[in-house]
Structure 1
Amino acid sequence: MNFVEWTAEMSVGSDALDDHHKMIIDCLNDLHPLLETHAPEDKVLAVMAKLEDFVLVHFSQEEQDMKRAGYPDWQAHKALHDSMYDVVFALKSDIQNGENVDAQRLFQLIQDWLVTHILGEDRKYVPYMTDPAAKPVAQWKRSNGRDC
């Protein structure tokens, strides 16, 4: 059984972006048993490198799609992506440099980030992706505190 399961509520209305999210979830599911069994560092690094490479591809595609769909807060969303990439890169670098990294904390951090991001932040742009003329059902605050 996988640690993280894809659900329909995670869909953002784009087959390409949904497929990206599924691949990121696959990386987490590959990482989970390695961390539980204290697998060799090179196996953990291989999954982290794959995750790092893939989030770069995904973030770029998602940001382009948000701009194209007219999502008004795409820049704040990009800033979140930049922060998340920094976390993945730093964790991979720590492992490469032989630093002690709490494996369960690492996995929890990445899993929380993924699920929170998809179910929280990514859901905000869904109306724009599925119908660019649609308005969000509820108001939410931008990162700068202003209403949309």
Structure 2
Amino acid sequence: MQPPVFDDSLRTGFAAIDEQHRLFLTMLAELGAHIEAGHHRQGVIDAFQGMRLYADGHFADEEVLMQQRGYPELEAHKGLHATFMAMAADLEARLGEGAGLLSVETLEFLGSWFIGHIRNEDQRFAAFARG
């Protein structure tokens, strides 16, 4: 798996949010490394759960910031976060069915979704907050 990289195109200008984005992408890459290395099922489950919980906390922080700034698209943004969390919960539930159900391709999809979300939705908020 080609690990997702946090670069300048993902910076929002909010240091705490940018650091959370960077850390989430690092966690995603580490989970991919666990899967590629064939680590035991529980190790993959633990890493995935940690990543999912981290994303949940990050989304909550982001939504508070958006609320504080009076972001008019907050509810729609929350819906996108809820969609990601539902996908992650579904994947986590399927992890219990078998070790091979979480593939590197699935992680690449999650990483692509997350990066696309930052580049489009989070950057839209950042522009609003700066404006």
Query: TM-score, normalized by length of structure 2?
Result: 0.90
Are 1:27 and 1:51, in contact at CA under 8 Å, matched by a contact in 2? Answer: yes
Compute the displacement of 1:63 (Å): 0.6
Q: Deviations over 1:61-89 (max 9, x none)?
A: 10111111121111100000000001111
> What is the aligned residue count?
130
Asked if 1:83 corresponds to 2:83, the answer is: yes
Counterpart amino acid of residue 17 in structure 2: L
Compute the displacement of 1:99 (Å): 6.9
Compute the displacement of 1:102 (Å): 4.9
Asked if 1:15 corresponds to 2:15, the answer is: yes
Asked which structure has the greater CA Rg, the reply is 1
> Which aligned runs of 4 or more in structure 1 are off by greater than 3 angstroms?
none
Cα distance in structure 2, aligned partners of 1:40 and 1:56? 25
- The within-5 A match list for 1:22-33 is 22-33=22-33
Cα distance in structure 2, aligned partners of 1:119 and 1:28? 17
Query: TM-score, normalized by length of structure 1?
Result: 0.81
Q: SS at 1:50's partner residue?
A: helix
Q: Which moved more, 1:60-69 or 1:104-113?
A: 104-113
Q: Which moved more, 1:9-18 or 1:98-107?
A: 98-107
Cα distance in structure 2, aligned partners of 1:64 and 1:102? 31
* Corresponding residue number in structure 2 for 1:113: 113
Higher relative contact order (CA 8 A, sep 6+): 2
Task: For structure 1, list consecutive stretches of 5 or more residues without a partner in the other structure.
Answer: 135-148
Asked if 1:34 corresponds to 2:34, the answer is: yes
Compute the displacement of 1:98 (Å): 2.5
* Corresponding residue number in structure 2 for 1:146: none
Q: SS at 1:66's partner residue?
A: helix
Aligned-CA RMSD value = 1.6
